[in-house]
């Protein structure tokens, strides 16, 4: 295992632990998810670089597209929750309420 791959795996795990521990604000959850997606993108890019197969060349581009869609949806949800609840605290939101 290369040191670059170990660093990317540890970055992914650190973002996952950060998401589990820092669930106070909705924006911090979104930032942790974005850092997880960024580390996955870097892992897929290095995989494509090391394997030299043309079939894996489109995977990072698709992941980047899905990551952009996820970011826009997350920001839209953030704006909607701030408008309705007047804060982004996760404790203030009741998920069972319509």
Give residue 74's pLDDT band: very low, low, confident or very high (50, 70, 90): very high
CB atoms within 10 A of CB 39: 20
Distance CA(29)–CA(33), nearest Å, equals: 6
Does the pLDDT of residue 10 top 80, yes or no? yes
Q: Angle between the 26-51 and 3-21 helix axes, to the nearest 10 degrees? A: 160
Which domains can be identified in the chain, with CATH numbers? 3-92 (1.10.287.3510)
Which residues are CB-neighbours of 16 under 8 A, at least 6 positions away?
32, 36
Distance CA(73)–CA(5), nearest Å, equals: 29
The 10s digit of each residue's pLDDT in 36-67 is 999 999 999 988 888 888 888 889 899 999 99
Does the pLDDT of residue 92 top 80, yes or no? no
Sequence length of the chain is 98
């Amino acid at each position: 295992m290369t040191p670059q791959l170990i660093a990317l795996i540890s970055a992914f795990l650190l973002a996952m632990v950060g998401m589990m521990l820092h669930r106070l604000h909705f924006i911090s959850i979104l930032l942790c998810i974005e850092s997880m997606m960024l580390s996955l993108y870097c892992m897929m890019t290095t995989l494509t670089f090391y394997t030299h197969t043309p079939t894996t060349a489109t995977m990072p581009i698709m992941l980047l597209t899905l990551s952009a869609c996820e970011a826009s949806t997350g920001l839209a949800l953030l704006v909607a929750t701030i408008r309705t609840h007047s804060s982004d605290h996760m404790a203030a939101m009741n998920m069972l309420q319509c």
